Structure 1
Amino acid sequence: MRIRSKPVLCNYYVTYRCNAKCSFCDIWERPSPYITLEDVAQNLRDLKRLGVEVIDFTGGEPLLHRQIDQMLGMAHEMGFITTLTTNGMLYPKLAERLQGKIDMLHFSLDSADKQEHDTGRGVACYDFVMESIEVARRLGERPDILFTVFRHNLHQLEEVYQKIILPNKLVLIINPAFEYNEVATGEQLTEQELRYLSDFGKRRQVYLNEGFVQLRLDGGNKVEKPVCKAASTTLVISPENELVLPCYHLGSKSYPIRGNLYELYRSQEVEELKRQEGRLPACEGCTINCYMQPSFAVEVNKYFWKALPSTIKYNYLKGTWKRLLPNSSLIN
């Protein structure tokens, strides 16, 4: 049963450029412009009309954009919940400009071992993450640690939790690695390892969407009965100011926005693509977290119930429910 028809999230790619070269990502390999402040202003107005509640300014490395603070401030003042994930390299320099504008600030960290983390990221950024934590806390921000889990770094979860999360009173977000296109992520987590993650996610100051675990145990999205609702829950905007469908990672169509996102998203051609969400050949077995999370929130099924407790836990820890409550209702 579908309980929400409006989109929930916008993944807004400010640029594909990045100052890291993560082994499990190919975005940084793409040439890219930067989005413009004028386009962002217009698109945010249309996103508000469409019912979107969360804006994820992403990349690439979003802090490479020189006007990122203005964009975040604009979105925040309009009542959107804002989120941003960074490798931390530029955060200490920009922290004061960003203060109070990001509701969910994530620092990427995949190991408590400096060499292991920096090797996976293709650049020396571990020390920047440690500095970013210190700076953010000094400014009264409440950052999270986003830990992307592979088989080779699973053993590092405990050390990150004990040495970094608890002493700094942070939230640990467990992000199981997912496959897409030709990007190599190594061997997939076994059932036993997934159960370990599930147990770990029950600890205090830890967030793991249990729907992610269940979907992997089930073999991912099934095209004959798709759980993925990427195109109808999430708008993807590219640095070229295009609407990408059905999602960034499997995007097969791009439409120039030209200042009219609202009408474009509601057009007949886009509506037809929405009806294909989760049903394309490339969607078989998909477990891409950033589209499954909103998908789990809009339709009552076993993934909805699996995801609900952890989602409530995270929103309670972060206090984001306070920003949602006056502006929207879950049921439309």
Structure 2
Amino acid sequence: MGLPLNLTVKMGGYLLKQKLLRREKFPLIVEVEPLFACNLKCNGCGKIQHPAGVLKQRMPVQQVIGAVEECGAPMVSLAGGEPLMHPQIHLMTRELLDRGKFVVLCTNAVLLPKHLHKFTPHRNFAWMVHIDGLRERHDESVSKEGVFDDAIEAIRQAKAAGFAVYTNSTFFNNDSPQDVIEVLDYLNDELKVDRMEISPGYAYEKAPDQERFLGVEQTRQLFRKAFSEGRRRKWRLNHSELYLDFLEGRTDFECTPWAIPSYSLFGWQRPCYLMSDGYAATYKELLETTEWDKYGRGRDPRCDNCMAHCGYEPTAVLATMGSLKESLRAVTGR
């Protein structure tokens, strides 16, 4: 289905500007982690393994705004940790919207009903709720019973209040094509969320469970079967057609790690959200001093099985914008 029309227009104008300025590296989305603390202990994430002193820290609103304005990305993903544990997350969101940014707030949604009244629906704002399977699978993934039901109820409340709600589903090697089909059918047809993102799980070094991550061929087989029989076209997937081709193995790309930079309490993370090879104090330093050519399949073994959208969706978007045929396909979905 591709991106929402208003975001497509915003992104298209931004990409044209970068081309006219002849910039080779620029951000499409900036991921900001204003805290690492979380109310859950998910099997595939190691964020809460930071020391207690780090988990207590909360990034000031103006520091977030400064980082976003410094890099200039048109879209901001507020993540964590659990962003709703930040006492000023609603103020942070409003400041970014006032500056013309498209903002998605990533949440497990457990705290969403308690904080929903602090936010106002906006055409450039969406909740991004993590749903990693139906009830049993999701609750196992987050290591706590009842979270799936809480998240679904929170999504219903947010939609009833007029908010756009997206979902983000990560799949692992214990997921079958039928698991993918069932959760996306449920989100698309029954819950009727506005957009859905999907991604094969990446092997975080600090993740509690290191046995569940997908290899490249496993990923291709999983999504090729899940997307068959026309299902890919009916689902409201928040991805470019070329990235979905990539997941199926119909095309291949190199990673574009600089296009979705990650900014956290430690600074600008090298080289991407998924790997931590040190931090830069400024976005300019990140771009100019990171050895980008040493990352990617065949160059760094940590990259060999990665097909995550934070690395490859930007490549697909740039390829789409550079081709009239693919641009038309992005609009029609065919």
2:256 corresponding residue in structure 1: 229
2:130 corresponding residue in structure 1: 108
Aligned pair partner of 2:90 in 62, 69, 72? 69
1:151–1:164 CA distance, 2 compared to 1 (3 A): same
Aligned pair partner of 2:284 in 257, 266, 270? 266
Identity %: 19
2:274 corresponding residue in structure 1: 249
1:220–1:313 CA distance, 2 compared to 1 (3 A): closer
2:225 corresponding residue in structure 1: 196
Partner SS for 1:246: strand
For 2:125, the aligned partner's letter is D
RMSD over equivalenced CA pairs, Å: 3.3
1:173 is aligned to 2:173: no
Asked whether the equivalents of residues 108 and 130 of structure 2 are also in contact (C-alpha less than 8 Å), the reply is yes
Asked whether the equivalents of residues 34 and 59 of structure 2 are also in contact (C-alpha less than 8 Å), the reply is yes
Q: Distance in 1 between matches of 2:225 and 2:277?
A: 36
1:55 to partner: Cα distance? 0.7
179-188 or 127-136, which deviates more: 179-188
Normalised TM-score (structure 1): 0.75
100-109 or 293-302, which deviates more: 293-302
1:186 to partner: Cα distance? 4.2
2:80 corresponding residue in structure 1: 59
Asked whether the equivalents of residues 228 and 277 of structure 1 are also in contact (C-alpha less than 8 Å), the reply is no
Q: Distance in 2 between matches of 1:219 and 1:252?
A: 31
For 1:37, the aligned partner's letter is V
For 2:76, the aligned partner's letter is I
2:140 corresponding residue in structure 1: 119
1:46 is aligned to 2:70: yes
Q: Distance in 2 between matches of 1:313 and 1:82?
A: 25
1:278 is aligned to 2:307: no
Residues 60-116 of structure 1 deviation map (CA, whole Å, 9 limit, x = unaligned): 11111111101111001100110122111010111121222562322111223x233
Q: 1:201-212 to 2 correspondence within 5 Å?
A: 201-212=232-243
Partner SS for 1:205: coil
Q: Distance in 2 between matches of 1:299 and 1:187?
A: 25
Residues 272-328 of structure 1 deviation map (CA, whole Å, 9 limit, x = unaligned): 4264363552434432321221232235699x89986786579xxxxxxxxxxxxxx
Asked whether the equivalents of residues 87 and 108 of structure 1 are also in contact (C-alpha less than 8 Å), the reply is yes
Normalised TM-score (structure 2): 0.75
1:139 to partner: Cα distance? 0.8
114-123 or 204-213, which deviates more: 204-213
For 1:236, the aligned partner's letter is S
Residues 160-196 of structure 1 deviation map (CA, whole Å, 9 limit, x = unaligned): 3444432333245241323334442245435442212
Q: Distance in 2 between matches of 1:293 and 1:110?
A: 20
Number of paired residues?
A: 294
